[in-house]
Structure 1
Amino acid sequence: MSKTKILSIVFFVIAIVIGYFFVDSIAYDIQQEKKIKREEARVINKLKQIRSGMIAYQRVNGQYTSDWDKLINFIDTGEFYLTERSETIIPREYGGDSVVINIDTLGTIPVYDSLYADIPDFNLSNLPYKPGTKTKFEIFADKIIKGSVRVDVFEVKDPDPINPKRREDDNEKALRVGSRSEVTTSGNWE
């Protein structure tokens, strides 16, 4: 065999090996990206469920909670009052009107049934945990002064993001709902 033929075969084998590793690395990156999107979708869904519970807790108790046990207990045993509001307008002799507002309580509905009854396989005891792990979400609730008004705020944050980009700057970009410093119940993915 000539040197040219041997070198051609060697270079061909090297090209095949390099091509394989190149395709494999691209396939791996694509798989990782799909896995990150799938896991982040599960975390976002869980954060939406937590947000619903926190908003309900605040409506009934007048403030948010930073205690998972209180939130879970409220969702499990708490109730919303069903009310009906009616107004009666009484005309006055001098041309003005007087309005009488009547609010009647019609009954109650459990918080759990109102928020989570339509979610299949919902497990209330797993609410504080990231899907598929035993890592709890970080929860924060407090009152802040915003525009000379004292308002309630909460934040629930993923402590261990799967996406390496979200881990930058001490998890500053981690998936979260609410804010420690702004009056919002939005998630940072919205």
Structure 2
Amino acid sequence: MKIVLQLVLWVVIAFLGYLVFNSINGPVKFNQVKKVRYAKAIENLKDIRKAELAYKTVTGKFEKDPAKLIAFIDTAKFTLTQRRDSSFIRFNKILKIDEPRDTVVIDTLGYASVKDSLFKNDNYKNMFKVPVEGKDANFELNSGFIEKNDLKIAVFEAKVAKDILLHDQDSDLLAQEKEVRSVDGVNGTHLSVGSMTEVNTSGNWPKSYGSNDQ
């Protein structure tokens, strides 16, 4: 009986030791996985933002269809211009004299491929795929206009839920991560860039992941 009690005691001690170890190691491992996955997702969000800003430069608005945005990168060109000051003479009919006038002349120098200007390879073709093994998901993309001071201003937002990025992690730790409100963390339930409610093309990640603006 004594031996049985000792064995039971050792089992209980081992189990309690496992619980203590897991309570310490669990959050550490969670944070390690989180940082790696967030970093990969942020690189995709930066590429999406780069593509959207190029699209707006050419068209004056943002694009909400991922396929159309990728097709734009494949085919579109930037117009290369040069801005220079100039002047001309205009006859003043009232004073009956010639008057010098200043102006600005914009010359078109040529065109440059958007793809070659912004991307070094074809990885942008997969920028909407969430880079998490075992999870087949895409970044959400939206665009439109908001009114500011009686002006319609183009906006866009790309995002992915933390539920997707950390789908295979501890549910309690994931719930805590979704409630984060800190300058050192990713606030809210999503990792995102841009906004559909304000004029903003920055990402919501902290500087520890690199610059969050363009």
TM-score for both structures, normalised by structure 1: 0.80
Q: In the alignment, which residue of structure 1 is the partner of 2:196?
A: 180
RMSD of equivalent CA atoms:
3.1
- Whole-Å Cα distance in 2 between the matches of residues 82 and 165 of structure 1? 49
Q: Deviations over 1:17-62 (max 9, x none)?
A: 4223311342232112110111011111110110000011011001
- Partner SS state of residue 65, structure 1: coil
Q: In the alignment, which residue of structure 2 is the partner of 1:99?
A: 102
Letter in 2 for 1:135: A
Calculate percent identity across the aligned residue pairs. 36
- Partner SS state of residue 197, structure 2: coil
Q: Shift of residue 103 of structure 1?
A: 1.7
- Please show how residues 20-169 of structure 1 align to structure 2 within 5 Å: 20-89=18-87, 98-117=101-120, 122-132=122-132, 133-159=135-161, 160-162=164-166, 163-165=174-176, 167=178
Unaligned runs of 5+ in 1: none
Letter in 2 for 1:130: V
- Partner SS state of residue 203, structure 2: coil
| Runs of 4 or more consecutive aligned structure 1 residues displaced over 4 Å after TM superposition | 5-13, 89-92, 165-168
Unaligned runs of 5+ in 2: 91-96, 167-173, 180-186, 206-211
Letter in 1 for 2:107: D
- Partner SS state of residue 190, structure 2: coil
Work out the number of aligned pairs and report it. 181
- Partner SS state of residue 101, structure 2: strand
Whether contact under 8 Å (2:139, 2:159) holds in the other structure is yes
